[in-house]
Amino acid sequence: MVAEEKKKWEWEISNQSSYWGTHFTEIWAYRHLLSSLVRRDFLVNYQQTILGPAWMLLQPVLTLVTYALIFGRLVGLSTGSLPPLLFYFSGIILWNFFNDSFGGTNNVFRDNTQVFNKVYFPRLVVPIAIMCTRFIRFGISLFLLLLMIGYYMAFKDFSPNFSSWLLALPVVVLAVGAMSLGLGLAFSVITAKYRDISGFVSLGTRLLMFATPVIYPVLSLPEDVRWIVHLNPLTPLFELFRLSLLGEGVVSYDMLFYSLAFSFLVLVVSLLLFNKKGDSLIDIV
Amino acid sequence: MSEIIIDVQNLSKMYRLGTIGTGSFRQDLQRWVSTNILKKEEPFFQGHGVNADGMDGNDLWALNNVSFDVKKGEVLGIIGNNGSGKSTLLKIISRIVRPTQGFVRGNGKVSSLLEVGTGFHNELTGRENIFISGYTLGMSRDEIRRKFDEIVAFSGIEKFIDTPVKRYSSGMYVRLAFSVAAHLEPDILIVDEVLAVGDNDFQKKCLGKMNEIAQTDGRTILFVSHSMQAVNTLCTKALWLQNGNVKEWGTANDIVNKYVASVQKHRLQQEWDTIENAPGNDNIRVKSVEIVPHLNNPNDMIDIRTALTFKFQFWNLQEHVNISARILLFSYTGECVFNVLSPIVNCFKPGILEGECTIPGNFLNDGSYYISMNFLKDSATHLLDFNECVSFDMEDYRGDLQWFGKWWGAVRPQFPVHLEQKEMVLDV
């Protein structure tokens, strides 16, 4: 009898949930699910369209044309010394990356109720899969941006002053990714419980875009409103993105530290929250 | 005794009724303040007074202190009425929802089939769906590759494997989905009513597959079903839930019989005084039906030795008809044990007819039975079908026999069986 009482159980389900939750070994065990979710996303999105995967390139280009017409021609916003198309496009692809990642991860529970209700797997697999697809899409857009920069350098007399800041590019991408995933996870938990908030979330992201130097450089702003934009932790990342690729942007180490710390903190806190609350949310979504 | 593979202890699950989820932000805030700041006890974990429906004020206890264990290789059937907590129990063991109290612990890999086609996506082809659904259910890539051909063959849709599943008929969809599920190889398989899909042939195939998994591979299965026949044939043990409580727990056959017996109260007799309130139609009205057991003491139980006489009376309301009555005896799992036909009676005028039929003792096996009647005109046209008019229980009787396992067979007649030693071989 003593031996039986000491028996080890491989798993136990109780009302206790831990902040540390899912072990990474468990997610690793579901890596094939992750890759097939990524694959599914690409297959499903471009099924039965004539242009197929070309839409991945076409979407940012169409946005670029719209923005260039409205903000460049009609509103006449300054883009500093950079060619407007390059300026807008760099802003658009980074913003799209942030916005798509956040938009995808923030609806994880609502979009997957059906599956979450019927089978167990580490819930974190789904947001990670979403992030993977967004990284791939961003990579494709970035490639397009590099082609455009090459074109401008070859034919339009554009000579960006590349510096060692180019090495900061991966840091920017990772930080934006971390921040969008972090915010997405946090809001997925919050909106699953308090639905009303999702209305404010979509409004908030739209407002956030205007508080981020997507279509204007920070320097073009009047001094007295600049602090709002500087409060936004995305601002230094956008400026750094342009600085590294196009050679023009205003960023200080303090501000950079602020946004990196913010991204890291948001991601860690949200992961903990997601682990703690993720399993009990299925009762209420 | 084989080892315990799942151990369920005092499992309870509470749902709050009315508002969706845990309610408003204000309620949550109140609860947070009272538990974390005022240090009051969480109301969840106090003793709760639950009434018969599992209701406690506005809270519904879908499961209430459920404890049981499952041994390795057992097939446990979980039965009960709708809303008795069967699905909640499966969901907790599958790790989909968390219990409010208590715990489940166990060993080995768990796969759950709570619906057909988990993880299927309409836009993708059958081939892609096999993989994605397999991964979702916890299969590894090698496992799926190894069994891919088998899965396709089992589903019988080889030709359409590269067609998006949205073009499938619903039958094809279900077959493919079930085929993936049927090839899972977990230590513990959790199945919820998936057998209630597909055509008859495919259902048989599924039952066969389940049987194969359970018997040849020695895997542990938890199986929820409303089909008592399926539980009876597939399961070794059964758990009967009622309003979130364990009502009975034991060998499958036993529990199924008890459950079935409780669902419909046994009626040994029914009688109607007037034609107006008697059941029937313009042709036939039933006056009385009755089972009379041949017992020395009327308080004795009916056991397999007891002969039973089924008596019935009915009004014939027509002139010039040839009437006969057919008596059908069903076991409670729905199989017809026998049907017997009365001789034909020529009725010139309306009136009351009476009949009886005696089922000898030592003929039926133990279990629950019911009788249905058909009234026929010219032995062919159904004048009236009177279903499940009486029902009764046959208790087991073994006498001196030192063996208590379930006696197999639809009937249990005592035909003389001859056995003798033919020759003796003395020097082996």
The pLDDT tens digits for B396-405 are 887 766 666 6
Q: Please state whether the predicted TM-score (pTM) of the whole model is above 0.90.
A: no
Question: Does A118 reach chain B within 8 Å, measured CB to CB?
Answer: yes
Contacts of B103 in chain A (CB under 8 A): 12-14
Using a CB cutoff of 8 Å and minimum separation of 24, what contacts does B50-58 make?
B52/B243, B53/B243, B54/B85, B54/B243, B54/B244, B54/B245, B56/B14, B58/B16, B58/B17, B58/B18
Chain A residue closest in CA terms to B24? A194
pLDDT for residue A181:
95
Chain B neighbours among A 251-280 (CB < 8 Å)? 279-280
Confidence of residue B40 (pLDDT cuts 50, 70, 90): low
Task: Select from B415, B50, B419, B47 the least CA-distant residue to B245.
Answer: B50
Residue A176 has pLDDT above 90, yes or no: yes
Q: How far apart are alpha carbons B364 and B414 in whole angstroms?
A: 10
Chain A residue closest in CA terms to B21? A284
Least CB-CB distance to A13: which of B95, B112, B136?
Answer: B95
| Beta-bridge partner residues of B143 | none
Residue A12 and residue B104: Cβ atoms within 8 Å?
A: yes
Residue B141 and residue A32: Cβ atoms within 8 Å?
A: yes
Residue B118 and residue A119: Cβ atoms within 8 Å?
A: yes
Beta strands in B277-380 (DSSP E): 284-293, 308-316, 321-331, 336-341, 345-347, 351-359, 367-377
Residue B18 has pLDDT above 60, yes or no: no
Beta strands in chain A (DSSP E): 11-13
pLDDT digits (tens, 9 = 90+) for B126-138: 999 999 999 988 8
Q: What is the DSSP letter of B60?
A: E
pLDDT digits (tens, 9 = 90+) for A256-276: 999 999 999 999 999 988 888
Contacts of A14 in chain B (CB under 8 A): 98-99, 102-104
Residue B23 has pLDDT above 60, yes or no: no
Residue B96 and residue A120: Cβ atoms within 8 Å?
A: yes
Helix (H, G, I), strand (E, B) or coil at B170: helix
pLDDT for residue B313:
93
Q: How far apart are alpha carbons B176 and B161 in whole angstroms?
A: 9
A contact test, residue of B42, B45, B132 with most A CBs within 10 A? B132
Chain A neighbours among B 79-118 (CB < 8 Å)? 92-108, 110, 112, 114-115, 118
Residue B89 has pLDDT above 80, yes or no: yes
Q: How far apart are alpha carbons B342 and B336 in whole angstroms?
A: 17
pLDDT for residue B49:
47
ipTM of the complex: 0.82
Q: How far apart are alpha carbons A157 and B260 in whole angstroms?
A: 87
Q: Which ranges in B55-98 belong to alpha helices (H)? A: 86-93
Q: What is the mean pLDDT of residues B101-125?
A: 85
Question: Does B187 reach chain A within 8 Å, measured CB to CB?
Answer: no
pLDDT for residue B52:
47
pLDDT digits (tens, 9 = 90+) for A202-213: 899 999 998 888
pLDDT for residue B328:
94
Q: Which domains are delineated in chain B?
A: 4-9+64-262 (3.40.50.300), 269-394 (2.70.50.60)
A187 or A26, greater pLDDT: A187
For chain B, percent of residues with pLDDT exceeding 90: 22
Cβ within 8 Å of residue B179, ≥6 positions away:
B151, B152, B154, B155
pLDDT for residue A196:
81
Residue B47 has pLDDT above 50, yes or no: no
Question: Does A120 reach chain B within 8 Å, measured CB to CB?
Answer: yes
Cβ within 8 Å of residue A20, ≥6 positions away:
A272, A275
Helix (H, G, I), strand (E, B) or coil at B142: helix
Contacts of A126 in chain B (CB under 8 A): none
Domain boundaries, chain A: 24-44+51-283
Task: Select from B262, B272, B215 the least CA-distant residue to B241.
Answer: B262
Residue A128 has pLDDT above 90, yes or no: yes
Residue B11 has pLDDT above 70, yes or no: yes
pLDDT digits (tens, 9 = 90+) for B196-229: 555 667 777 777 777 777 777 778 889 888 777 7
Helix (H, G, I), strand (E, B) or coil at B348: coil
A contact test, residue of B15, B96, B139, B167 with most A CBs within 10 A? B96
Question: Does A14 reach chain B within 8 Å, measured CB to CB?
Answer: yes
Q: How far apart are alpha carbons A245 and A243 in whole angstroms?
A: 6
pLDDT for residue B131:
92
Q: How far apart are alpha carbons A188 and A154 in whole angstroms?
A: 45
